[in-house]
């Protein structure tokens, strides 16, 4: 496998500090990992003796399980920390939580927190590499990597593709990381949603096109990604209700028709069937939503492998 | 007696510098003239140094009583003296709140005992800063407050704010308005715009300030009260104040050093010492603030010194409290970034840190004149240094300027004829 770039010891806060070549290295490695995941015996010994902590201050099922499986398949020891039922509930702050865990000998932290910037804080207190598993609405780089990897696998490259991302852009960390990564890989990204759910200056910050009309967004798109719409935005006065949202921004068979014939339909999950995406689209041949989940494990294995300094040729192949 | 020899002296009456000696006798500036001889005086050689009137800060938080783990009157006074301040006005958001005479008396007594810096109190507009009932304004004024403010707890109810101004208008003291519409600022953390999008943090739109400033200006107009807009942070606020002044409405305004020299970009590293209200804004806003200082729309540079302990700031960005300290960096920061770069004149900076704030609180401070009080600060403008966390004398170290290089070293501060700060 190609593995020319050394990512040992790196942090992954977001994709802005990763180059195109580095992202491609991650993809190439993920491809190998994906093969391993198809084996009967889904385990390699590369990270034997390494300890990885999943430090989750916010609820998550798929991301945490995906990371845990990834670490276990590389033979690392995994400890799961969730703030529910921990000393955080007794008032322990993040600084002391990290000091405590670090004193037990941790090699890498996987962090999810509702407040942006916390992964960096964990690195500051631990001195150990940190993988951001989602910090508030700021970033979710491993999700973006698996999204991009899924497209890359199907299309060969992201260069020149039109990718439409639809829904609650304002509160989405998935969008932010994808905008940085997809732009870097040469795609043209269009974001689309109600104006009240659009962050300010998104075009200026990310070089993305921003439209409020779904048909414009989807026309000739190579990829369409729906985002989870959360009902509580209604009580926050940001949009009137789910049915109007679904009528205007829900992905149905009919609206998808104006996209390219081989359009890929994606969703970072968890899905609200019948809200941002109708089952007829989610379960269609165009949908790669389930494969995204499969790829998530491979991408996370690749990252752990590269960052914790696995030796490629000898042990993987 | 103290004799300051051969300094560049800022003469407050002429608003300009002259090379002269300054003779201090007890609490008074006895004489300002070249070549003063006085054998009994302690002589300070001020060659190549600047002698300014002691700075006056219109806006600070001393956290005493109630939050003395952040700051107290003694440490606040010392920190102010180190920054060249000889008079400071502290906000009432203590615990208990300065909305009653006994808390006010505690503050005044302790300030007198400490002595280092002249401390003036700003009383609450509403009881307990709750925005529900008018505070005992008449008693507070009689007790000696120099202004009224619910700083940090902006009164949202327009009717109450109107009545506060109406009730207080007969006392001719400034109503200091921290103008913020909470429905718009909400859970915002940084400026609503480029950085809030990039950082994924909820934003505070400039509108949250501007809508309230509009209201407060209208209330000033209707009641005839002097409204002082605290820490202006946006371009449109500058325009609103400018227009109001043109119409003859009694409005003054202040800006902080951090809003003058930093923008929202400073928040990029999630450094909680860049988190304050109002938030650091865009470069366009910053330029408008400088413009406002230059055309005198903005009257005063005030620190909004807001100490918070390290364990409060060493937190997730969203959990950390708003506010930064400012006494010790105020002059050097503005001097370095605006005066030294030729954007504003030194005379203008001194005016906005001395005579203008003193005028607003109507106290006889901030002037360097013969026969006036001996409140003086002596500064070496050429000395450059790194603003070092270990040298901060405030109890709290939450400054966005830690590690920054700056010019303008405060060598001595003299308050009422006594040294309150000497650079070792």
Note whether residue A168 is domain-resident.
yes
> Are A241 and A167 in the same domain?
yes
Kindly report the average pLDDT of chain B as a whole number: 97
HSE on the CB side for B324, CA within 13 Å? 27
For residues B194 and B23, is the Cβ–Cβ distance under 8 A? no
> Are A145 and A134 in the same domain?
no
Find all residues with CB under 8 Å of A243, minimum gap 6, and list them: none
Task: Please name the residues between 115 and 154 in chain A that touch chain B, using a CB distance below 8 Å.
Answer: 115-118, 120-121, 135-139
Note whether residue A9 is domain-resident.
no
- In this complex, is the C-beta atom of A207 within 8 Å of any C-beta atom belonging to chain B? no
pLDDT of residue A234: 82
Chain B: residue nearest A198 by CA? Answer: B197
pLDDT of residue A4: 57
Burial (Cβ within 10 Å: 0-12, 13-18, ≥19) of residue B171? middle
Chain A neighbors of B279, CB-CB under 8 A: none
CB neighbourhood size of B8 (10 A): 18
Which range among A56-65, B34-43, B392-401 shows the weakest confidence by mean pLDDT? A56-65
Chain B neighbors of A199, CB-CB under 8 A: 196-197
Note whether residue A236 is domain-resident.
yes
Mutate to test the interface with A, among B190, B198, B273 (most CBs of A within 10 A): B198
**Which pairing describes strands B203-204 and B190-191: parallel, antiparallel, or unpaired?**
parallel
> Are A267 and A173 in the same domain?
yes
**3-class secondary structure, B38:** coil
Note whether residue A4 is domain-resident.
no
**What is the DSSP-derived secondary structure letter of residue A267?**
-
- In this complex, is the C-beta atom of B270 within 8 Å of any C-beta atom belonging to chain A? yes
Q: State whether B200 and A121 contact (CB < 8 Å).
A: no
Chain B: residue nearest A199 by CA? Answer: B197
Kindly report the average pLDDT of chain A as a whole number: 93
> Are A106 and A156 in the same domain?
no
Interface predicted TM-score (ipTM) of this complex, two decimals: 0.91
Q: What is the mean pLDDT of residues B264-278?
A: 97
Find all residues with CB under 8 Å of B54, minimum gap 6, and list them: B84, B85, B86, B87, B354, B365, B366, B375, B376, B377, B413, B414, B415
Domain enclosing residue A51, as ranges: 15-139+294-316
pLDDT of residue A92: 79
Residues B88-146 pLDDT 10s: 999 999 999 999 999 999 999 999 999 999 999 999 999 999 999 999 999 999 999 99
Spans in chain A with pLDDT lower than 50: 1-3, 313-315, 317
Task: Please name the residues between 143 and 202 in chain B that touch chain A, using a CB distance below 8 Å.
Answer: 192-194, 196-201
pLDDT of residue A1: 47
Mutate to test the interface with B, among A13, A14, A15, A116 (most CBs of B within 10 A): A116
> Are A121 and A164 in the same domain?
no
> Are A248 and A260 in the same domain?
yes
When divided into structural domains, chain A yields a total of 2
Give me the active site residues of B, please. 304
pLDDT of B304 strictly over 80: yes
CA atoms of B52 and B366, how far apart (whole Å): 9
Note whether residue A125 is domain-resident.
yes
CATH code where residue A117 lies: 3.40.50.1370
Chain A neighbors of B193, CB-CB under 8 A: 200-201
Chain B: residue nearest A175 by CA? Answer: B200
CA atoms of A75 and B71, how far apart (whole Å): 51
> Are A240 and A299 in the same domain?
no
Beta-bridge mates of residue A56: A82, A112
> Are A102 and A196 in the same domain?
no
> Are A159 and A277 in the same domain?
yes
CA atoms of B82 and B330, how far apart (whole Å): 11
Residues B370-390 pLDDT 10s: 999 999 999 999 999 999 999
Q: Checking phi first, is residue A111 left (phi over 0); if not, alpha (psi -120 to 50) or beta?
A: beta
Task: Please name the residues between 169 and 188 in chain A that touch chain B, using a CB distance below 8 Å.
Answer: 173, 176
CA atoms of A24 and A28, how far apart (whole Å): 6
Question: Concatenated DSSP letters for A44-107?
Answer: --TTTT-EEEEEESS--SHHHHHHHHHHHHTT-EEEEEESTTSGGGGT--HHHHHHHHHHT--S
Interface size, chain A vs chain B, as Cβ–Cβ contacts under 8 Å? 56
Residues B156-200 pLDDT 10s: 999 999 999 999 999 999 999 999 999 999 999 999 999 999 999
Peptide bond into B278 cis (omega under 30): yes
pTM of the model: 0.94
> Are A48 and A134 in the same domain?
yes
For residues B404 and B378, is the Cβ–Cβ distance under 8 A? no
For residues A86 and A55, is the Cβ–Cβ distance under 8 A? no
> Are A219 and A238 in the same domain?
yes
Domains and CATH numbers, chain B: 2-50+372-422 (2.30.40.10), 54-361 (3.20.20.140)
The angle formed by the CA atoms of residues B417, B419 and B420, to the nearest 5 degrees, is 115
CA atoms of A193 and A197, how far apart (whole Å): 6
CA atoms of A188 and A172, how far apart (whole Å): 19
pLDDT of B2 strictly over 60: yes
CA atoms of A297 and A43, how far apart (whole Å): 13
Note whether residue A218 is domain-resident.
yes
Note whether residue A1 is domain-resident.
no
> Are A56 and A163 in the same domain?
no
pLDDT of residue A60: 86
- In this complex, is the C-beta atom of B203 within 8 Å of any C-beta atom belonging to chain A? yes
Note whether residue A281 is domain-resident.
yes
């Amino acid at each position: 496998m190609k593995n020319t770039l050394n990512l040992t010891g790196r942090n992954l806060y977001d994709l802005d500090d990763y180059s195109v070549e580095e992202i491609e290295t991650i993809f190439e490695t993920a491809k190998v990992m994906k093969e391993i995941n198809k084996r009967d015996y889904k385990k390699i010994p590369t990270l034997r003796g390494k300890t990885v902590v999943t430090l989750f201050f916010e609820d998550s099922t798929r991301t945490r399980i995906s990371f845990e499986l990834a670490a276990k398949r590389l033979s690392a020891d995994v400890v799961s920390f969730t703030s529910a039922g921990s000393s955080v509930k007794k008032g322990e702050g993040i600084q002391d939580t990290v000091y405590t865990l670090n004193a037990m000998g941790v090699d890498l932290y996987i962090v999810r927190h509702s407040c942006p910037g916390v992964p960096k804080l964990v690195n500051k207190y631990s001195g150990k590499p940190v993988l951001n598993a989602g910090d508030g609405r700021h970033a979710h780089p491993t999700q973006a990597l698996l999204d991009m990897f899924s497209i890359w696998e199907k299309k060969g490259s992201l260069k020149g593709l039109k990718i439409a991302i639809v829904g609650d852009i304002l509160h989405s960390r998935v969008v932010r990381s994808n905008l940085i990564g997809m732009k870097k890989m040469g795609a043209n990204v269009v974001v689309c949603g109600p104006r009240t759910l659009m962050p300010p200056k998104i075009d200026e910050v990310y070089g993305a096109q921003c439209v409020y009309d779904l048909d414009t967004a989807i026309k000739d798109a190579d990829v369409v990604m729906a985002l989870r719409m959360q009902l509580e935005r209604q009580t926050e006065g940001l949009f009137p209700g789910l049915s109007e949202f679904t009528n205007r921004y829900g992905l149905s068979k009919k609206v998808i028709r104006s996209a390219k014939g081989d359009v890929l339909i994606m969703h970072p999950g968890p899905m609200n069937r019948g809200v941002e995406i109708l089952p007829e689209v989610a379960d269609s041949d165009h949908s790669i939503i389930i494969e995204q989940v499969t790829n998530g494990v491979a991408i996370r294995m690749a990252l752990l492998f590269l960052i914790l300094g696995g030796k490629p040729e000898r042990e993987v192949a | 007696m103290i004799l300051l020899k051969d300094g560049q002296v800022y003469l407050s009456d002429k608003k300009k510098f002259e090379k002269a000696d300054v003779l201090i006798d007890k609490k008074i500036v006895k004489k300002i003239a070249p070549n003063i001889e006085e054998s009994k005086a302690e002589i300070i050689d001020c060659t190549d140094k600047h002698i300014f009137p002691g700075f006056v800060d219109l806006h600070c938080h001393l956290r005493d009583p109630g939050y003395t783990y952040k700051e107290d009157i003694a440490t606040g006074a010392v920190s102010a003296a180190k920054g060249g301040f000889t008079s400071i006005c502290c906000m009432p958001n203590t615990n208990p709140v300065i909305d009653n005479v006994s808390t006010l008396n505690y503050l005044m007594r302790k300030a007198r005992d400490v002595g280092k810096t002249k401390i003036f109190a700003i009383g609450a507009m509403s009881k307990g800063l709750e925005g529900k009932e008018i505070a005992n304004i008449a008693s507070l004024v009689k007790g000696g407050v120099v202004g009224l403010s619910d700083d940090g707890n902006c009164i949202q109810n327009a009717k109450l704010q109107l009545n506060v101004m109406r009730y207080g208008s007969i006392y001719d003291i400034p109503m200091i308005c921290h103008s913020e519409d909470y429905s718009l600022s909400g859970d915002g953390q940084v400026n609503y715009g480029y950085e809030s999008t990039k950082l994924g943090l909820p934003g505070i739109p400039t509108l949250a300030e501007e809508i309230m400033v509009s209201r407060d200006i209208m209330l000033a107009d209707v009641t005839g009260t002097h409204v002082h807009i605290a820490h202006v942070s946006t371009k449109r606020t500058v325009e609103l104040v400018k227009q109001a002044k043109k119409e003859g409405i009694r409005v003054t305004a202040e800006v902080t050093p951090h809003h003058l020299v930093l923008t929202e970009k400073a928040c990029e590293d999630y450094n909680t010492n860049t988190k304050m209200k109002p938030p650091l804004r865009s470069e366009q806003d910053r330029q408008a603030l400088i413009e406002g200082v230059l055309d005198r729309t903005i009257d005063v540079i005030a620190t909004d010194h807001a100490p918070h302990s390290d364990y409060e700031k060493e937190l997730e960005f969203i959990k950390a409290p708003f506010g930064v300290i400012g006494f010790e960096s105020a002059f050097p920061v503005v001097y370095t970034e605006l005066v030294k770069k030729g954007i504003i004149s030194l005379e203008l900076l001194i005016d906005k840190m001395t005579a203008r704030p003193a005028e607003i609180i109507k106290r006889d401070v901030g002037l360097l004149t013969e026969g006036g009080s001996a409140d003086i600060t002596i500064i070496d403008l050429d000395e450059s240094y790194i603003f070092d966390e270990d040298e901060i004398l405030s109890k709290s170290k939450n400054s966005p300027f830690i590690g920054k290089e700056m010019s303008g070293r405060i060598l001595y501060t003299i308050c009422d004829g006594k040294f309150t700060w000497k650079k070792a």
